[in-house]
Structures are given as structure tokens and as C-alpha cells.
Amino acid sequence: DQQVKQNSPSLSVQEGRISILNCDYTNSMFDYFLWYKKYPAEGPTFLISISSIKDKNEDGRFTVFLNKSAKHLSLHIVPSQPGDSAVYFCAASTNAGNNRKLIWGLGTSLAVNP
């Protein structure tokens, strides 16, 4: 049972335009969400996170939006650059007690075309 779903396996965007990556979750107990980027032959790299007490978090070109009622989050990249081409993973957790287990989506492959 996939608790974190990234329904688009791939996305193609023109350089300079906005990239929007989506993620849905089913567990209402999740209270911490993260986005990671992964290049081939490397480990995932942390991009940005958001706690459930917020609905938006911004870091440079990257913004994450959280809609708790819809159990949906999205990552916006503006403007998109060719170097952003990678696989993007959404992850979620319930930071209760000592739990630090992340539940991962299967990823969305983003291609930014020059």
C-alpha cells in the first residue's frame, strides 16, 4: 500500500518555465514532508522540507506547498534550469517520539530542455 504517491513518473519542461511536481499522501498522521533530488549514480540530495503547521516554504527557486485537507503537496521550481534535470522524490514522516522513518514516493523524473 503506497502511502506516498507521485503519480507522474516523468515531466518535461522548457528552460525558464515553471516545473510543478506533485505528491499525494494517504496517512493523515504525517506531519513532516521533504523533497529530494537524485542524479544518476549519486545519493538523494535534500532540497526542501515543510512541517504540517505551515502551508508554504520557500528556498530560492524552490517552493513547497502543502494542502492538508487534500493530503497533497507540490514542489515548484522557478525558473527551471537544465541542471534541475533529475529524479525528484517526495517523502513524509510522523515525527512522534523517536520515529524518524521516512515514507518515500517512487519519484518523478524531470527533464528541463534548453
- Can you give the binding site for another protein, defined by CB under 8 A? 34, 41-46, 49, 89, 95, 98-102, 104-107
Return the number of the residue (41 or 53) whose C-beta is nearest another protein. Answer: 41
Q: Least distance (Å) from another protein to the CB of residue 34?
A: 6
Beta-carbon count within 10 A of 75 CB: 23
DSSP letter for 101, please: P
Q: Least distance (Å) from another protein to the CB of residue 16?
A: 28
**Cell 533530488 appears where?**
37
The span from the CA of 114 to the CA of 111, in Å, is 10
Return the number of the residue (53 or 70) whose C-beta is nearest another protein. Answer: 53
Q: Least distance (Å) from another protein to the CB of residue 25?
A: 15
Q: Least distance (Å) from another protein to the CB of residue 28?
A: 21
Return the number of the residue (43 or 114) whose C-beta is nearest another protein. Answer: 43
The span from the CA of 31 to the CA of 15, in Å, is 33
Which of helix, strand or coil describes residue 82?
helix
Q: Which of 111, 80, 101, 105 is nearest to 2 (CA)?
A: 105
Return the number of the residue (11 or 102) whose C-beta is nearest another protein. Answer: 102
